[in-house]
Amino acid sequence: MTKTTGNQGGRPSVLDNFKPLLIDVAVPLGSYYLFKEAFGMSTFAALAWSSVVPAVRTVWGVVKERRTNALAALILVVNVVSLLLSFVSGDPRLMLAKDSGVSSTVAIGILVSVRLGKPMMTEGMKPFLVKGDPAREAAFQRLVSGTAAGSAAFRRKERVFSVVWGLVLLAECVVRIVGAYTVPVDTMVWLGSVIMVAWMAIGFLVSGGLAAGPMEQMLTAEAAAGRDERPAVAAAA
């Protein structure tokens, strides 16, 4: 009797779909707070150590896979920018404003990726659309590769999703910078987090309505079409 563990029949699990997002985003961000809060490291040291994984992933992609790992490279750039900004000190308003440098770097990276035809937010959105379903995974690949009937519309929405998040992060950056120099420092310390949460909520709402919602409908239809096509092909054979 054979005992099967993990994925059965080569089918991707939910963890498999989330793995790139976990490795490229969650690990570096989580390790930063772990090093800073749990181990009491300085901001500079925590940023430096949390840059190890994205740095390795970026170099590995270029050397071994002959391609750039966009998410890992973006997180690495953000960490480098944060390291440089960590040297800025003395002016409390400037210290508040420098946090916006991270948002602006991410936003610019996302918008550039759309311009290059490789929307960066797709990897983050994909697990929520695919839901670990092999049929939806296959449908997703057909839609993004251009082999499905609805590929053109799907890819337009894919670009819209990234553009929305790029603009939202840029807007959040501008609002926080303006607040850093116009709102009392004691107020801006907590208001900065409120602004960030508010813009994230706007991002989820707008990107969901304009892109993620329609993409999920198209993906569901394509997955259903794929299921209907397989029995027909089997019968013909």
CA-closest candidate to residue 24, choices 126, 114, 166: 126
Same domain assignment for residues 115 and 169:
yes
Residue 207 is assigned to a structural domain of this protein: yes
Q: Which residues have a Cβ under 8 Å from the Cβ of 181 and sit 6 or more positions away?
A: 93, 97
Same domain, 41 and 131: no
Considering the domain architecture, whether residues 110 and 212 belong to the same structural domain is answered as: yes
Last residue of a domain, one of 58, 87, 116: 87
Check whether residue 189 and residue 136 sit in a common domain: yes
96 shares a domain with 181: yes
Q: What whole-number distance in Å separates Cα of residue 8 and Cα of residue 14? A: 13
| 5 is a domain residue | no
How many structural domains compose the chain?
A: 2
Task: Dig out the tokens for 37 from the structure.
Answer: 């809060």
Residue from 59, 100, 106 nearest 78 by CA: 106
Domain that holds residue 171: 89-229
Does residue 236 lie in a domain region?
Answer: no
Residue 2 lies in a domain: no
Give the pLDDT of residue 3: 44
Nearest 5°: the CA angle 152, 157, 163 is 130
Q: What is the pLDDT along the chain (237 residues), one digit of tens a residue?
A: 444 444 444 455 545 555 655 666 667 667 777 887 778 877 667 767 877 777 776 677 666 656 666 666 666 666 676 666 666 655 667 766 766 776 787 888 889 989 988 898 887 788 889 888 889 999 999 999 888 888 999 999 999 999 999 999 899 889 988 998 898 877 886 787 788 788 888 998 999 999 999 999 999 999 988 776 655 444 455
Q: Do the Cβ atoms of 77 and 104 come closer than 8 Å? A: no
What confidence score (pLDDT) does residue 197 get? Answer: 80
Residues 199 and 104 in one domain: yes
Calpha distance 33→19 (Å, rounded)? 20
Residue 83 lies in a domain: yes
Show which of 68, 87, 106 is a domain's final residue.
87
Same domain, 27 and 129: no
Residue 237 belongs to a domain = no
Same domain, yes or no, for 110 and 178? yes
Q: How many CA atoms lie within 13 A of 106 on its CB side?
A: 23
Same domain (yes/no): 109, 200: yes
Do 99 and 170 reside in the same domain of the chain? yes
- Residue 152, pLDDT score: 93
Picking from 64, 62, 67, 69, the residue whose alpha carbon sits closest to that of residue 25 is: 69
Among the candidates 56, 87, 118, a domain finishes at 87
The DSSP-derived string for 122-184 is HHHHHHHHHTT-HHHHHHHHHHHHT-STTHHHHHHHHHHHHHHHHHHHHHHHHHHHHHHHHS-
140 with 193, same domain: the answer is yes
Domain membership flag for residue 40: yes
Residue 55 pLDDT: 73
Q: Are 199 and 219 within one domain?
A: yes
